[in-house]
Amino acid sequence: MKKLSTAISVAIISTGLYSLPAYSYDNVAEAMCNYVVADHKSRFRDQLRSKKIKLKKVYKNITCNGHSLLRFSMTKDANQVGAFIVKRLPASLLKRPEADGVSVYDWAIANGKQDSVIGKAIKARAKL
């Protein structure tokens, strides 16, 4: 009986009669950008938690107005959300150059944001 139910389950999944729920990361990314603009850390965190998203896995794929989440939070002076993002990302990711070849902290220096709350948090986390 167990073999029969396993075989039926495998057949259903392999034929495509069952599919995993469609997930739109565009809506999630848009909501995250909106929470950055509003500097609403608790809603930003709740968005990640409710969708079971690990920030370090999706950080590189989310852009707001052409900026990464950290750069966007610095431009919008969203210190609470920005500091939260820094805490959730590994130091190696903060040191690594982004899509344009410049690391977040180097970008902050170039744009005069190194003394902001987020800039200081990046410097401390990445030990720069």
Domain encompassing residue 35: 21-126
pLDDT tens for residues 82-124? 999 999 999 999 999 998 999 999 999 999 999 999 999 999 9
Distance CA 32, CA 110 (A): 25
The per-residue pLDDT for 128 is 86
Residue 53 in contact with residue 44, Cβ under 8 Å?
A: no
Residue 73 in contact with residue 36, Cβ under 8 Å?
A: yes
Place of tokens 């739109």: 24
SS3 81: helix
One-letter amino acid at 21 equals P
Asked whether residue 1 is assigned to any structural domain, the reply reads: no
Asked whether residue 7 is assigned to any structural domain, the reply reads: no
Structural domain total, the chain: 1
* φ, ψ for residue 89, nearest 5 deg: -100, 145
Asked whether residue 108 is assigned to any structural domain, the reply reads: yes
**CATH number for 74:** 1.25.40
Better pLDDT: 43 or 11: 43
pLDDT tens for residues 14-65? 444 443 344 455 688 999 999 999 999 999 999 999 999 999 999 999 999 9
CA distances from residue 87 to 8, 61, 91, 120 in whole angstroms, order as listed: 45, 18, 9, 12
Asked whether residue 3 is assigned to any structural domain, the reply reads: no
pTM over 0.85? The answer is: no
Asked whether residue 2 is assigned to any structural domain, the reply reads: no
SS3 64: strand
Better pLDDT: 79 or 7: 79
Asked whether residue 11 is assigned to any structural domain, the reply reads: no
DSSP symbol at 22: P
Asked whether residue 14 is assigned to any structural domain, the reply reads: no
Asked whether residue 26 is assigned to any structural domain, the reply reads: yes
